Amino acid sequence: MQFERTLDDEVADWLAKDLAERPVAGSTIDDDIADLTAALESDLSLTEGSIPQPHSNEAVRKFLTRVVSLMNEQNL
């Protein structure tokens, strides 16, 4: 996943709404929340990979935590 230059609340709100409306590859919003939560609970770096990432692992984790929180709110 490639992120915007800023990982602010506006981008988090947009991503949470987008994932709620269009879950990833045939999954459900519950599946996406579970996958993101599992990634956040792991010790693996969320910023290493083939796509260059201008944000620190800590910044990405904080951002995704906000996205998951928003997704949970929308999924009530």
Q: Is the pLDDT of residue 53 over 60?
A: yes
Residue pair 63/6 in contact (Cβ under 8 Å)? The answer is no
Q: Is the pLDDT of residue 52 over 90?
A: no
What's the pTM value of the predicted model, to 2 decimals?
A: 0.85
Q: Is the pLDDT of residue 16 over 70?
A: yes
The conformation of residue 25, written as its DSSP 8-state character, comes to: G
